[in-house]
Structure 1
Amino acid sequence: MLLHAIWLAALAVAQDQESSQEVVTLTNSASLTGADATPTLSLSDFSASTFPTGTMSGISMNTGGSNGTASITSTSDPLTQIVGGTRTTVVSGNMTASTTTSARPTNTQPCNNYPEFCTRKYSNVTEVCAHNSPFVRKNNAGSNQALGVTQQLNDGIRMLQGQIHYVNGTLFYCHTSCDLLNAGTVEDYLREVTTWVAAHPFDVITIIFGNADYEMKDANGNPLVTSKNYVAPIENSGLKQYIYQPPKTHMTLEDWPTLGELILSGKRVITFIDYNFDTDAVPYMLWEFYNMWETPFSPTDADFPCTLGRPEGLSENQQKSLLYMANHNLNVKVSIAGATLLIPNTIELNVTNGVNGSGSLGSMTNTCISSYDRPPNFLLVDYYNSGPFNGSVFEVAARANNVTYNRKCCGTASSATVLSEPSVAYLGLVIAVVVAVMML
């Protein structure tokens, strides 16, 4: 039984990558009692001097009591689960030990808040996305969230998206115009994200960079702002060390690793850019629309059809092979002096961010499941902290993931009241702000 526990400990850090001969030493601190005992393990039960770059087919060990130490030599047998699985392995020469016992460890360490996610592929999890995550400004027409990015991540947001503009050689998070809402530099925002990522080693997050100035040209007619412009803020913020570089520029559902594999590798941030990608220069920043599709963007239709929005022209089979995002942020179209601006429809948030009913996030998710036999990977919402009850958007995601939502949401009482009761008066105020900006 001890042999089985040690072998399962080895499974906890195996990586399905290229062959290697590196050796890693793990310590199993699980206690076993009884012939059929099922050990309960967490990722924190294992310490490793070096994670293997390959996978393994054999172990050598000493068996000094209930705590064992295993030296693992990586070879070529793919083992990709954090915990679990059965194998036959060679121990100390020609002796063969079968690990077909029914005892099986239970992982207690959550990955993205749920232990069940550790062995799921990145492409088989539904997460809530904060639309225009940086735009947190009370009574501003360009705002899309009420709580800052650290609180967003604390509450369970695992995808961050935002519109970026290039001003005097620097990238800023600005909504429509930096005169309307300037949330600061991309570097400063990413520095805050990096601080959170460093403090949460069992979480995987996704960032979509909205390259709003993709049509700008330099003196030679070439795109002025591409993914190359994002390298400096990414590196200066410290985020680069956590970014996962996929083996392909076009990843299908089957190509993505599990959350556990990403976590154990330390590469726990996935980055996309919507326009002007350059994967030759910046291979870790994928083109969004080569790897993911979206339902209609900036919707004003409260029915929220789960149909293809961007990119155009994908076949149904192609849609079913890629990640996809449900855009569920209801907008109001405001026309002023010939200009048109979309602003969040805050009046309807209790419906839009709801679990049930026409126009709700839950209803759209169910429609998507019926159409594509799987839920969206990302649910993009405004003011995620608002809804018919605290955490309603996370309840929708939990149901899509077939897990139980039991977390506390959202933020603090004082900071969450900014839009907890959106009103017609508020909508009138933000329209007035728009008028003032457009008249400048």
Structure 2
Amino acid sequence: MQLSAGVRLLSAQVHVAKNENTKQRELHLCHSSCFFMDAGLLQDWLFEIRTWMDRNPDGVVTLVLVNMGGIDARELEGEYARADIARYGYVPETIDKPLALSNETFQTWPTLAQMIEKKGRLVTFVNPLKPDKQNAPYLLNEFDFVWENAYEVIEPTGFTCHPDRPANKTIAEMRDSGRLFLMNHILYWQQAFGIQLPDLRHINTTNSWDGLGGLGLHMMECGHQVSRRPTFVLVDFFNVGPAIEAVDILNDVQNPVGRKNVTATVVEEHIAAGASMPVPRRILVASALAVGAWNLLA
């Protein structure tokens, strides 16, 4: 499991599907469409994460859910309740706007120790979501708390640090807003008919510290432009190429203990048409944080 390998933020798309037998509405994890790739029930995935958190009482986990089905907070909360993971949910002071920017003398975002002590070790961002303070205060609309750079990059020289979501914002505006920076670092290979596939030709360089379009150089450049390092880094195939090692360098982590080795091969899944395609282990690998925020990489 990615969490045991050192990853501390996971991302998934949530779709509305029907049970094949009962025809009842269900929430599934799918990639683009459940017809092509269905990873099963959201509830089962949350249960797996909850089991890991039960066994790792000092682990802080963040989830980013892409709400492809326009699912409301009450229905999502039901999935969390059935997986018995809601009890770990982190609830900020306000759930509809970012906290003020932390600094050395004024701390707003909690530290890891504070989150562990208060047992609010699971942070969930959902895009999009109408917050429901009464029924699901731990489910947070992503772009009220997070900002991202562009994610559809097809050239190794195309990585930037400029805000893409929320739209029409400057780096200074996002930095001073208190939002956490999720830095996308994913390289696509442009195909015919507008199709984009993960660019496995360059994956070892893309996930490296200092290669052309390398992860390390991108993190350092964004740290310089934003005046604080990215909070999260989104990569394809975190297990292929030195992505975690690059983040370790930025975090000044040496000789980490307790991590499990995972296969360094590309996973292939068969899709409905009978062909196979590479499935990116698209995991958010956390990098170092500014004062007052949490550090998500063990």
The interval holding the TM-score normalised by the smaller chain is: 0.7 to 0.9
Counterpart AA for 2:256: N
The answer to whether the aligner puts 1:316 opposite 2:171 as a matched pair is yes
- Could you tell me which runs of 5 or more consecutive residues in structure 2 were left unpaired when the two chains were aligned: 19-24, 103-107, 278-298
Instruction: Please state how far the C-alpha of 1:315 moved relative to its aligned partner.
Output: 3.7
Q: Distance in 2 between the 1:417 and 1:394 partners?
A: 12
Counterparts in 2 of 1:369 and 1:341: CA distance versus 1, 3 Å: same
For 1:388-433, what per-residue CA distance to the aligned partner results, in whole angstroms no more than 9, with x for missing partners? xxxx222222232233353576634xxx15329xxxxx9xx9x983
Q: Distance in 2 between matches of 1:333 and 1:377?
A: 28
Match runs of 1:286-301 below 5 Å: 286-301=140-155
- The corresponding residue for 2:100 is 252
Matches of 2:143 and 2:13, distance apart in 1? 16
Q: Who is 1:370 aligned against?
A: 224
Q: After superposition, where does 1:158-197 map in structure 2 within 5 Å?
A: 158-168=8-18, 169-197=25-53
Unaligned runs of 5+ in 1: 1-150, 215-224, 421-425, 436-440
Distance between the aligned counterparts of 2:260 and 2:192, measured in 1?
A: 33
Aligned counterparts, 1:396-407, within 5 A: 396-407=246-257
> Is the Cα–Cα contact under 8 Å of residues 228 and 282 in structure 1 kept in the other structure?
yes
Shift of 1:373: 1.4
Tell me if the contact between 1:294 and 1:327 (Cα under 8 Å) persists in the aligned partners. yes
CA distance in 2, matches of 1:408, 1:291: 30
Q: 1:418 matched to which residue of 2?
A: 265
Residue 199 of structure 2, aligned match among 345, 357, 361: 345
| Amino acid aligned to 1:419 | V
CA contact (8 A) 1:171 1:186 kept: yes
| Contact 2:172/2:226, CA 8 A, preserved across alignment | no
Letter in 1 for 2:6: G
Q: 1:179 to 1:434 in 2, by over 3 A?
A: farther
Query: How far apart are residue 308 of structure 1 and its match?
Result: 0.9
Q: Secondary structure at the match of 1:189?
A: helix
Q: Tell me whether 1:199 sits opposite 2:43 in the alignment.
A: no
Fraction of identical pairs, as percent: 27
Contact 1:208 1:271 survives alignment (8 Å): yes
- The 3 A distance-change label for structure 1 pair 331 and 252 is farther
- Matched residues, number: 258
> With structure 1 as the length reference, what TM-score do the two structures score?
0.55
Supply the distance in 2 between the matched residues of 1:386 and 1:212 (Cα, whole angstroms): 27
The C-alpha deviation readout for 1:119-175, integer Å capped at 9, x for no partner, is: xxxxxxxxxxxxxxxxxxxxxxxxxxxxxxxx2101100001011111132111111
1:44-73 CA distance string (max 9 Å, x none):
xxxxxxxxxxxxxxxxxxxxxxxxxxxxxx
Distance 1:228 1:405, change over 3 A: farther
- Report what 2:124 is aligned to: 271
Amino acid at match of 1:383: F
CA distance in 1, matches of 2:248, 2:101: 20
Q: Is the 8 A contact 1:252 1:323 kept in 2?
A: no
Aligned to 1:52: none
Partner amino acid for 1:319? M
Deviations along 1:316-341, one digit per CA (max 9) or x if unpaired, are: 333113210111121223344xxx44
Write out per-residue CA displacement over residues 365-392 of structure 1, whole angstroms, 9 at most, x where no aligned residue: 01101101111000111111111xxxx2
Give the equivalent residue in structure 2 for 1:306. 161
2:214 equivalent in structure 1: 360
What residue is the counterpart of 1:333 in the other structure? 190
Partners of 1:434 and 1:300 in 2: CA distance: 22
Give distance in 2, aligned partners of 1:294 and 1:405.
30
Is the radius of gyration larger for structure 1 or structure 2? 1
For residues 331-355 of structure 1, give each alpha carbon's deviation from its aligned partner in whole angstroms, at most 9, with x where no partner exists: 223344xxx4432112211011101
Shift in alpha-carbon separation, 1:177–1:434, aligned structure 2, 3 A? farther
Contact between 1:165 and 1:213, CA under 8 Å: does it hold in 2? yes
Aligned equivalents of 2:249, 2:67: Cα separation in 1 = 32
Q: 1:208 to 1:402 in 2, by over 3 A?
A: same
Distance 1:302 1:405 in 2: 30
Q: How far apart in 2 are the matches of 1:398 and 1:417?
A: 18
CA distance in 1, matches of 2:204, 2:259: 15
Q: In 2, are the aligned partners of 1:277 and 1:285 still within 8 Å (CA)?
A: no
Instruction: Give the alignment of 1:98-117 within 5 angstroms.
Output: none
- Output one character per residue of 1:63-117: Cα deviation in whole Å (capped at 9) or x when no partner: xxxxxxxxxxxxxxxxxxxxxxxxxxxxxxxxxxxxxxxxxxxxxxxxxxxxxxx
CA pair 234-314 structure 1, distance change in 2 beyond 3 A = same
| More relative contact order, 1 or 2 (CA 8 Å, 6+ apart) | 2
Equivalent position SS for 2:64: strand
Partner of residue 128, structure 1:
none
Q: Distance in 2 between matches of 1:382 and 1:405?
A: 24
How much is the aligned-residue C-alpha RMSD, in angstroms? 2.5
> Structure 1 residues 166, 375: closer, same or farther in 2, change over 3 A?
same
Q: Does the C-alpha gap of structure 1 residues 275 and 335 become closer, same or farther in structure 2, counting only changes over 3 Å?
A: farther
- Aligned to 2:229, the other structure's residue is in SS state coil
